[in-house]
């Protein structure tokens, strides 16, 4: 059924628009003057100098919590890796040298480019060994490996600069040579069906994704 929309009844001055245009300009000028003399009261944030406060329940970059002796609390139970829907956690366990702990993480990596920041890993952890409370929500890097963070990086906790502790400089992926795709039907022989036509040669030192999915 068609809905009949009632048009508001306009006065003479509203119908000729000129007065309404000047009224609108008056509102704009009023806010301009107010915001010029009272900049602190403006409802905007002067980003990046002034950061917007994060919600209490926000999820930011992960960190691994540590024991009093400085060792990570993680006991390599793999619960977080299993719960992770993005398959971006990679853990390799080893035997712990502490008698009351069975295992510890030899390798603990998170691929932050794959992470969807769902927090399932934090929920799944029985040891309170992983948290997402570093307040780091803007993650910047130029290379994929900048975003694959390891155990030592994750143990640094809050307040660290994002790029501290990242892997040693390696060749940039931008410098990777592009392998020429097949140019003729005969070149096509041996080319895997459905394979990308412009595969990038991975430069030496470029780390592969933490886990194949």
Q: Which residue ranges make up the site for ligand SF4 (CB under 6 A)?
A: 74-80, 83-86, 88-89, 91, 110, 115-121, 124-125, 127, 129-130
| Cα(46)–Cα(159) distance, integer angstroms | 21
Beta carbons of 177 and 201 less than 8 angstroms apart? yes
| Residue given tokens 């719960």 in the structure block | 83
- Nearest approach in angstroms of CB 24 to ligand SF4 is 46
Helices (H) and strands (E) in the chain, counts: 5, 5
Residue 20 or 150 having the CB closest to ligand SF4: 150
- Nearest approach in angstroms of CB 132 to ligand SF4 is 6
- Nearest approach in angstroms of CB 163 to ligand SF4 is 20
In Å, how far are 182, 183, 194, 197, 200 from 187, measured between CA atoms? 5, 6, 15, 12, 18
Beta carbons of 134 and 61 less than 8 angstroms apart? yes
Residue 91 or 155 having the CB closest to ligand SF4: 91
- Nearest approach in angstroms of CB 207 to ligand SF4 is 17
| Cα(82)–Cα(126) distance, integer angstroms | 13
- Nearest approach in angstroms of CB 7 to ligand SF4 is 51
Residue 96 or 173 having the CB closest to ligand SF4: 96
Residue 77 or 145 having the CB closest to ligand SF4: 77
| Cα(177)–Cα(148) distance, integer angstroms | 22
Residue 62 or 145 having the CB closest to ligand SF4: 62
3-state secondary structure (DSSP) of residue 149: strand
């Amino acid at each position: 059924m068609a809905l009949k929309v009632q048009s508001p009844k306009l006065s003479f001055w509203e119908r000729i628009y000129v007065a309404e245009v000047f009224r609108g300009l008056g509102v704009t000028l009023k806010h301009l003057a107010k915001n010029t003399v009272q900049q602190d009261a403006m409802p905007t944030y002067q980003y990046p100098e002034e950061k917007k406060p994060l919600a209490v329940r926000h999820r930011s970059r992960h960190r691994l919590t540590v024991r009093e002796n400085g060792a990570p609390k993680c006991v390599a139970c793999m619960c977080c890796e299993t719960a992770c829907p993005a398959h971006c956690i990679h853990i390799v366990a080893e035997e712990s040298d502490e008698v009351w702990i069975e295992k510890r993480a030899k390798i603990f990596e998170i691929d932050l480019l794959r992470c969807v920041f769902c927090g399932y890993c934090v929920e799944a952890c029985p040891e309170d060994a992983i948290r997402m409370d570093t307040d780091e929500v803007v993650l910047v890097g130029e290379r994929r490996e900048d975003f694959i963070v390891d155990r030592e990086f994750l143990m640094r906790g809050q307040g660290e600069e994002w790029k501290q502790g990242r892997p040693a400089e390696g060749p940039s992926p931008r410098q990777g040579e592009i392998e020429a795709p097949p140019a003729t039907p005969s070149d096509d022989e041996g080319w895997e069906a459905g394979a990308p036509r412009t595969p990038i040669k991975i430069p030496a030192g470029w780390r592969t994704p933490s886990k194949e999915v």
